[in-house]
Amino acid sequence: MFIDRVRILNGHFPGKDVYPFNLKIFRETDSLAFKAPVVFFVGENGSGKSTLLEALTRKYGLTVWGGEKSHIVHDNPYETRLFDFIDLEGTEPKGNIERGFLFRAENFFNYAAYLDDLIMTDPGLLEYYGGDSLTRQSHGQGFLSFFNARCRIKGVYFLDEPEAALSPPNQLAFVKALWRIVQAGQGQFIISTHSPIILSYPGAQIFSFDFIPIKSIPYTETHSFRFYKDFMNNRTSYLKELGPQVDE
């Protein structure tokens, strides 16, 4: 794999009173060992999943598509500097990588529109995306076309909440596409998600940011799985405050 272990150099943080170094989860997590080609980051909003995902991308020298996520209003020169305080270890030499990126589903339309501009001068590009413009497809169909085309190229891919572009059936289609790509030996994927469907990928390693330090947990212990399962089984108890119109 391209990345086998992440070491967080928390003993060298520039301070404990500025984001992201003020997050206890980074101050008390020393390392993460990746043991599967598909790794998921799970946890509540604001727990640090996207921050670490972006830091890994920057440390590997890959493109951050869709811009940076800002967490504070005032200027913070350290906000994107976590990558300066992590080390990466991998069994496959970094020089062998061909492609990779950090992709956020909510910025997919911008990429699709950019591709339309390129197609005006190079129509042959459409062959790599199913033969049709991504903007002429639904959001989910376009994303799946993009994913199937780009991630067949060997590399390490970071995806931030891909379910934002996908209906539940398309989330399952995404899992199947991910399986085909991984079985072909073409990629390593590190994915932040809240989707219990995407998390069901067989053999994936799941790191929960709801624990300090970050902890590897099984699928059935993820908050997403437990919450959705309990909600489906006890819907009325969650909605009872809405009034008697809730069906039993």
Q: Note the pLDDT tens digit of each residue in 198-229.
A: 999 999 999 999 999 999 999 999 999 999 99
The pLDDT value given to residue 142: 72
Domains of the chain by range and CATH?
5-242 (3.40.50)
- As given in the structure block, the two tokens for residue 39 are 């790794």
Least confident of 51-60, 128-137, 148-157, 202-211: 128-137
Q: Taking the model in full, what pTM does it have?
A: 0.85
> Per-residue confidence at 95, pLDDT binned at 50, 70, 90?
low
User: Which one has a higher pLDDT value, 173 or 248?
Assistant: 173
Which of 217, 242, 229, 220 has its CA nearest to residue 39? 217
Using the predicted structure, report yes or no on whether residue 73 has a pLDDT greater than 50. no
115: closest CA among 132, 90, 103?
132
Range 91-119 average pLDDT: 66
Q: What is the spatial distance between Cα 163 and Cα 218, in angstroms, rounded to a whole number? A: 20
The mean of the pLDDT values for the chain is: 84
List, in order, residues 6 or more apart from 81 with CB less than 8 Å away.
Answer: 14
What integer pLDDT is reported at residue 102 of this predicted model? 79
Contact at 8 Å (CB) between 61 and 83? no
Give the mean model confidence (pLDDT) for residues 130-136: 63
Q: Which residues contact 65 (CB under 8 A, 6 or more apart)?
A: 101, 102, 103, 104, 107, 111
Backbone phi, psi, residue 160, to 5°: -105, 105
Higher pLDDT, 197 or 125: 197
pLDDT at 67: 45
